[in-house]
Structure 1
Amino acid sequence: MELFTVLVAGFVCTVVLAFLFALKRNQYWADRGIHQYKPLPFLGDMLPVLLRQKTLGEHLMEMCRAYPDEKVIGFYFFMKPSLVINDLELLEKVLIKDFSHFADRGPQPKDVVHMNLFSTTGNLWRAIRNRFSPMFTTGKLRFMFPQISGLGEDFMNLLRTKREKVDMVDYFGKFATEVIGVTAFGLEGRAMEENSEFRVKAKKIFEPSFSNYVRFVLGPSLMNLLGLPPTNSELLNYFGPAVKNALKYRRENGVVRHDFIQHMVTLQQKGTIEVDKDDVSDEILMMDHVPEMKVEMSDNLMIGQSMGFMVAGFDATALTMGWLCYELAMHPEIQSQARQEVKEVLEKHGNRLDYDTVREMKFLSTCLKENGRLHSALDVNFRMVTKPYKVPDTSAVLERGSFVYIPNLSIHMDPKYYPEPEKFLPDRWIAENDKSSCKYLPFGTGPRMCIAMRFANMEMMCAIAKLLLKFEVSIHPSTKLPPQIEAYSFFTYPRDKLYFNLKKLNA
């Protein structure tokens, strides 16, 4: 009986001490003179997200609206104190001017899949970025366009028999996966086939699910500590050999193509990729801002980079096109205007669709940009502090290993920057003179921005232009309006499917 009493007393004391520690932890930012929201013991500010009431981006936007005049807001990712950046000037320092203090997205996962530009850290990230940026120059994109355009025709043929209740996010996913399969894995004719294994495996990477959300919440450090793989091992077992086989085939048969896997083979053989004549638009790659580093171009590094292309090029691209399809269906007058522009540009160039003619479709480009503001694939981003940083105008110092959160959704929906932010208004970008890169963040900004941004935009412009020529798109009555975002998702997936009707147009 005495032992039982001792055990109960010990348990109660442990619970009380843990609770008191959690309460003290929740005062971290208040003790440093920084406003914070409403953290709960152990859960911090994450309860609405766990209950699927809000996405993390929606929750951070609510916090920013509660403290509109505060440059930073204390945020608790469970029991980890972090900061939300609520000021564009400070955000510019974090992402660009003081980048050396915020150079990484988080700890480096140990598995091969995360050996890519999104996940790598420190000198390894710098070396990879320096090596891979030349893959996305204007000259390289121009060479790859015919391949993507051909896949776009295959995509139109796939839609030819579809008329009602079409899940366009899923079909755009098939197209985007095929593009990545061809350009990053050297595999053709896989993703658009019925019950394609390549497509099924690709969907598992970031599909909305509780298990994928747990991986995101725990992060690579805790996953490694618990002995759990940061990525589903089934995916590595499938995509790893796919990349190795493609590399082996290219080397043994002397096959040369204008795609990413060819550039990686060239990197492995020569150590560099030749850059074509300079194009002013290539400045966005910031190739001169990343110091030269040495890195061995191993097969594992190539597998990781191919997986990085898969993640960015499949989920994010397919979702963005799906949301643009939704906005065009909801605004038929804008859809008609975009279609008319596509026709006029093609007629001007003898019905030739190539890299340069797509760039002339200015109104369609503004539609894509406005869609990126309203429906960014990531409604929140983050950076890890890599060396201590004193928060301007406060006494607080961010410690190494802590995180800052970038509320993409809050910025994109702020009427200070975008009048009538809830409306889809492509024309707002025609007269846009504000050069601040920190108020538009679908691809990020600064050295850590997505270097494949122009490739993704080229792919999406090509697919949407072809779609507008072939079909008139409208919302199917079964689509739930307004659509809600799935909280258990890394990307902004709709909670319920978006269904469309496709009316075939005369040629």
Structure 2
Amino acid sequence: MVISARDSEWRRLRSIMSPTFTTGKLKRMTPLILECMDTMNDNIDKIIAKNNGQLSAPVDMKRIAGAYAMEVVIQVAFGRKVSALIESNNPIIENARKMFSTSLFTLVKLLFVMLAPNVAKMLKISPFDRKVTQFFRDFTLTLIDDRKRGLETGSPVKRADFLQLLLDSMKNNNQAIDGSDEYTDSKSAEKYREIQATDDMTDKSLTNDELISQCVLFLLAGYESSATTLSMCLYNIAKHPDVQQILYDEITKFKEQKSSADPYEAFFALKYMDAVIDETLRLFPAAIFIERAPNEDYQLKGTGITIKKDHVVHIPTYAIHRDPDNFVDPEVFRPERFLPENITHNPYTYLPFGAGPRNCLGMRLAQLEIKLALVYLVHRYVFHATEVKPLELGVVTASGIIKPKSVDLRISKRPPFYLTETSTKVDQFGPGAKSIKLSTST
């Protein structure tokens, strides 16, 4: 996997994968995410219907968000539509869940791989169940063969999933990265600078094993972190109704002004939503630490400290985010601190996605997935805190991943609008949206 590769091998893998996450590619992935969003809305509507449209009993939003994240990652990675809550016996779902097993035996193997990688490789120790990895190997190879047959018969189906984009990027690795294919905005260009192919990179292809590994990595990295962040965003706005109302007002105003907008526009337009997500990731980063190892001795300027080659540098993200020297009142949920006009912290004291060339490659896809979910969820429902079952962050695995045991909230549907001739609003935007006359009377 690219996250475990180093030096020239890492550079080659990263340069091949990077073009799959440009702005143009993310726009093509957006309809796939919206399909999963529709499924989540249907699931929540069914829960509310059981209570005759009234305030629901406590609902574990980690489970709901987890099903959404699972569906997104399978749809976006492999181009396969599943319903994670309903199709629990689907072999893709079954094996994906096994991949995220946190049994004691799995954690011991993971710890061994982290602390003694060379010995683990020699003994062929893997933190993953071999039957599961074999399933995804066979599954991915079957998809690749299907797409090759489509090309040979002259009837290829153009897809926007990660697997297809990865196959495409190997053929077009020298493409210019500009315009709609930019990687990031100018403000974060330095912090999240991206690796691009250079003339000396002659091998711009992936072996089948490398291709499969990146797809499995996509599954691993894209599920738990997105599910946790989305459910914790909902938890925070439920605990802070004033924040939820401001967020709702911003979304409503955006939809009124952009009734026919491309859903991707929400990625840049909703500044308060950005702040809510950023503050959630400050308090509850997906990983409580990140680690880096230099490929040569490196002296930290002005400190007299030299980091030796291959020594592991441990960066305690969770602690940095809650340090009062970095953030005033660090234990308080305050989204306003991340509004552009209020940001005062050093950018390297906020590291939910890492920084530098080895930052999280799927960062913008994860942000898009979470933002689209919040746009639809907050516009359709009101989330209420419950003290019946307090939040438990549960076990932090050997890899440092935060996993809340459950995020229990009550849900009610926002009052419906009645049709009038007074104003024009839109309940949904994007492909298929219909303009109808509405007023805010209830």
User: TM-score scaled to structure 2, two decimals?
Assistant: 0.81
1:265 to 149, 161, 167: 167
* Amino acid of the structure 1 residue aligned with 2:107: Y
Matched, 1:216 2:113: no
- Secondary structure at 2:382's aligned position in 1? strand
CA contact (8 A) 1:329 1:473 kept: yes
Report the alpha carbon displacement of residue 485 of structure 1 after superposing the two structures with TM.
4.2
Counterpart position of 2:158:
256
Distance 1:208 1:280 in 2: 34
Residues 180 and 310 in structure 1, CA contact (< 8 A), matched pair in contact too? yes
Distance 2:273 2:244 in 1: 9
Query: How many Å apart are 1:291 and its aligned residue?
Result: 4.3
Separation of aligned partners in 2, 1:393 and 1:275? 36
Aligned CA distance change for structure 1 residues 269 and 251 (closer, same or farther; 3 Å): farther
- Is 1:179 paired with 2:72? yes
For 2:292, what is the secondary structure of its paired residue?
strand
Q: Answer whether contact 1:343 1:469 (CA < 8 A) is retained.
A: yes
Distance 1:226 1:394, change over 3 A: farther
Which residue matches 1:449? 359
For residues 204-353 of structure 1, what are the structure 2 equivalents within 5 Å?
204-218=98-112, 219=114, 220-253=117-150, 254-272=156-174, 275=177, 277=179, 279=182, 281=184, 284=189, 286-287=193-194, 291-292=198-199, 293=201, 294-350=203-259, 352=261
Corresponding position of 2:17: 132
- Residue 378 (structure 1) shift: 0.4
CA contact (8 A) 1:169 1:498 kept: yes
- Counterparts in 2 of 1:379-394, with a 5 A limit? 379-390=288-299
Work out which of the residue numbers 366, 385, 394 in structure 1 matches 2:275: 366
- Which residue identity lines up with residue 167 of structure 2 in the other structure? V
Is 2:78–2:161's contact at 8 Å kept on the other side of the alignment? Answer: no
1:68-126, CA deviations, whole angstroms, 9 ceiling, x for partnerless residues? Answer: xxxxxxxxxxxxxxxxxxxxxxxxxxxxxxxxxxxxxxxxxxxxxxx3x2121121110
Cα distance in 1, alignment partners of residues 335 and 315 from structure 2? 24
Instruction: Using the TM superposition, name which of 335-344 and 158-167 deviates more.
Output: 158-167
Contact 1:373 1:440 in 2 (8 A): yes
- Out of 406, 418, 421, the position equivalent to 2:315 is 406
Distance 2:145 2:31 in 1: 25
C-alpha distance 118-358 of structure 1, shift in aligned 2 (>3 A): same
CA distance in 2, matches of 1:228, 1:270: 35
Q: Which stretch shows the higher mean deviation, 448-457 or 289-298?
A: 289-298
Cα contact 1:176–1:318 (8 A) shared by 2: yes
Cα shift at 1:246: 1.6
* Counterpart residue type for residue 439 of structure 1: T
Indicate yes or no: 2:96 matched with 1:193: no
1:78 alignment counterpart? none
Deviation (angstroms), 1:193: 3.1
The answer to whether the 8 A contact 1:185-1:242 is kept is no
Which amino acid in the other structure matches residue 199 of structure 1? Answer: I
Q: Take 1:366 and 1:125, find their aligned partners in 2: how far apart are those partners? A: 32
Aligned AA (2:7):
G
Q: Which amino acid aligns with 2:361?
A: I
Deviation, structure 1 residue 269: 4.3
Answering whether residue 8 of structure 2 is matched by residue 118 of structure 1, we say: no
Q: What is the alpha-carbon distance in structure 1 between the residues aligned to residue 290 and residue 60 of structure 2?
A: 28
**Match for 1:168 among 56, 61, 74?**
61
Paired with 2:32 and 2:98, the residues of 1 have a C-alpha distance of 26
1:150 corresponds to which of 26, 35, 56: 35
Q: Which moved more, 1:222-231 or 1:412-421?
A: 222-231
- Whether the 8 Å contact between 1:207 and 1:489 is mirrored in structure 2 is no
Give the Cα separation in 1 of the matches to 2:266 and 2:123: 52
For the residues of structure 1 that align with 2:320 and 2:208, how far apart are their CA atoms?
A: 40
Q: Secondary structure at the match of 1:217?
A: helix
What is residue 478 of structure 1 aligned with on the other side?
388
Contact kept in structure 1, 2:63 and 2:406, CA below 8 Å: no
For the pair 1:501 / 2:410, whether they are aligned, the reply is yes
**CA distance in 1: counterparts of 2:111 and 2:350, whole angstroms:** 26
Structure 1 residue 191: deviation in Å?
3.1
User: Larger radius of gyration, structure 1 or 2?
Assistant: 1
Secondary structure at 1:382 match in 2: strand
d(CA) in 1 for partners of 2:242 and 2:101? 33
Letter in 1 for 2:33: I
- Counterparts of 1:489 and 1:235 in 2: how far apart (Å)? 20
Q: Which residue of 1 aligns with 2:423?
A: none
Residues 37-83 of structure 1 deviation map (CA, whole Å, 9 limit, x = unaligned): xxxxxxxxxxxxxxxxxxxxxxxxxxxxxxxxxxxxxxxxxxxxxxx
Q: Residues 201 and 302 from structure 1, CA distance in 2 versus in 1: closer, same or farther, beyond 3 angstroms?
A: same
TM-score of the aligned structures, taking structure 1 as reference length: 0.71
Q: Do 1:319 and 1:492's aligned partners in 2 also have CA atoms closer than 8 Å?
A: no
Deviation, structure 1 residue 143: 2.2
Displacement after TM superposition at 1:185 (Å) = 1.3
> Residue by residue, what CA displacement relative to the aligned partner does 1:181-205 show, whole Å, maximum 9, x if unpaired?
1111121125343314323322333
Give 1:176 deviation, angstroms: 1.2
- 1:102 corresponding residue in structure 2: none
Q: Name the counterpart of 2:52.
A: none
The answer for unaligned runs of 5 or more in structure 1 is: 1-114
* Superposed displacement of residue 171, structure 1: 1.7
Q: 1:207 to 1:432 in 2, by over 3 A?
A: farther
CA contact (8 A) 2:21 2:183 kept: no
Cα distance in structure 1, aligned partners of 2:159 and 2:43: 25
Closer, same or farther in 2 for the Cα pair 1:362/1:148, shift >3 Å? same
1:51-62 maps to which residues of 2 (within 5 A)?
A: none
Q: CA deviation at 1:422?
A: 0.3
Aligned with 2:412: secondary structure? Answer: strand
